[in-house]
Amino acid sequence: MNIRFLCPSCRQPLEIDQQWAGQSVACPYCKRVVAAPMSNTWEPPVSIPTARPAGSGFEPPPPPMGVAPIPAMSASGSSARWALGLALSSIVLMLFGMFIFMVLFSEMVQERVGSKATQEDILRSAQDMMAKGEVPHSAKITVPVLTATLFSLFSLGLAIRSLTRGEHNRGTAIVACLLSILLLFCQLGTILNSVVKHVPSPVSVHEYSLHVRP
């Protein structure tokens, strides 16, 4: 026995087989997926088209006039490819920031030791400046490093999204996830190292007594 009902979306009459009662079906008029009732809810005066079960090949209706369609993430692994691209871009930006840092730091060391200094003097001065935290601070370094950090976070989020949704290119998502995590750990280690160097060491009681002794 067939079940007859009106489409909740376009109010057109539909008819399905009894085996599809209570399941999702595709309306042949408006192309919407609707839930079929368990029994008849409408008696047709004339013959009506039969609704077919909503399968994987169902195509949604076109968007309204004047509205651009939004590109959706397909199951082909779009999130994984975007994640890998952002991870590689963050690595390039980080390397660029390190290059700018080395150039500016070399200029600072050269200004301190002078043009006639030996290689040993330059190396000793560079180690001393690094130990004291005398490093260059410039927007030329900060901007690419911060951008690389943001790219790493977005890459990690997209990679996790691809893995949780079971998209294709699972290997690409795993590689992007590992690269993002590695880069974030390196950035976190650099920040912690910089903070530790700027924290003053505690003065022992014996040293304090030596300083305050008249």
Q: What is the pLDDT of residue 132?
A: 75
49 plus 84 within the same structural domain: no
**Structural domain boundaries, residue 38:** 3-53
Q: What is the pLDDT of residue 148?
A: 86
Q: What is the pLDDT of residue 64?
A: 55
pLDDT in tens, the chain (214 residues): 678 888 888 888 888 888 888 888 888 888 888 888 888 887 756 565 666 666 655 565 665 555 444 444 444 457 888 888 888 998 898 888 888 888 888 888 888 877 777 778 778 888 887 777 777 777 888 888 888 888 888 888 888 888 888 777 788 888 888 988 888 887 776 665 554 554 454 544 444 444 444 4
Q: What is the pLDDT of residue 59?
A: 62
| Residue 155 domain flag | yes
Q: What is the pLDDT of residue 204?
A: 45
Query: What single-letter amino acid sits at 210?
Result: L
Q: What is the pLDDT of residue 74?
A: 44
83 plus 178 within the same structural domain: yes
Tell me the CA end-to-end span of the chain in Å, nearest whole number. Answer: 108
Answer whether 103's CB lies under 8 Å from 138's CB. Answer: no
| Count of the separate structural domains present in the chain | 2
| Residue 214 domain flag | no
Angle, helices 139-164/170-198, rounded to nearest 10 degrees: 140
The Cα 86–Cα 176 span in angstroms is 8
Q: What is the pLDDT of residue 135?
A: 76
| Residue 23 domain flag | yes
